[in-house]
């Protein structure tokens, strides 16, 4: 194992492609990055996952590290951007879950006459949207389960559910 005297030496070696030098930089900075992410995220497991993503991103973009920036500062910057993305994603997911629960209660808790109305309105949806809505909203399937069953990408299922839900609410006069 080589020994490197300073952070600058490690950076130079890592820029030249030395995985060992980069590994030493990770060893020297991982505690700071993980501690920072744990405070930002509030979830140690999520923070550790984000730290791993941070180090993978750092390895693939190491050439972008400017000479005047300390490695720890640069790594924490990457980590912060990853945490922001994760927190935004979590917020969007929670919002979708709330909307889904509201939709499910609005659309699929009818009785008698209302049930017939929902079935009639469902028949007006394109078949692909109808299938996604039936599985995800009425059948409590996850988007990934529905994607597998329908043989389409998960993003397609999500868009079909979103469009189908909006159309159902419009046709039922419930607003969106």
DSSP one-letter string for 81-103? HHHHHHHHHHHHHHHHHHHHHHH
pLDDT digits (tens, 9 = 90+) for 79-129: 999 999 988 888 787 777 777 666 655 555 554 556 677 777 777 888 888
pLDDT band at 176 (very low <50, low <70, confident <90, very high): very low
Task: Please report the pLDDT score of residue 73 as a whole number.
Answer: 87
pLDDT digits (tens, 9 = 90+) for 130-150: 888 888 887 778 888 888 888
pTM: 0.52
CATH code of domain 108-172: 1.10.10.10
What is the architecture of the domain spanning 7-91?
A: Orthogonal Bundle (1.10)
**What residues does each domain of the chain span?**
7-91, 108-172
């Amino acid at each position: 194992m080589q020994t490197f005297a300073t952070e600058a030496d490690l950076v130079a070696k890592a820029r030249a492609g030395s995985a060992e030098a980069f590994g030493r930089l990770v060893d020297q900075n991982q505690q700071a990055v993980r501690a920072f992410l744990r405070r930002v995220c509030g979830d140690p497991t999520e923070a550790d996952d984000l730290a791993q993503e941070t180090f993978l991103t750092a390895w693939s973009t190491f050439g972008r590290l400017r000479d005047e920036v300390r490695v720890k500062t640069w790594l924490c910057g990457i980590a912060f951007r990853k945490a922001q993305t994760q927190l935004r994603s979590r917020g969007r997911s929670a919002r979708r879950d709330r909307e889904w629960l509201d939709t499910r209660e609005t659309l699929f808790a009818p009785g008698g006459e209302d049930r017939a109305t929902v079935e009639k309105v469902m028949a007006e949806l394109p078949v692909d949207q109808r299938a996604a809505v039936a599985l995800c909203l009425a059948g409590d399937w996850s988007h990934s389960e529905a994607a597998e069953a329908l043989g389409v990408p998960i993003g397609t299922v999500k868009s079909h559910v979103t469009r189908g839900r909006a159309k159902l609410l419009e046709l039922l006069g419930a607003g969106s």
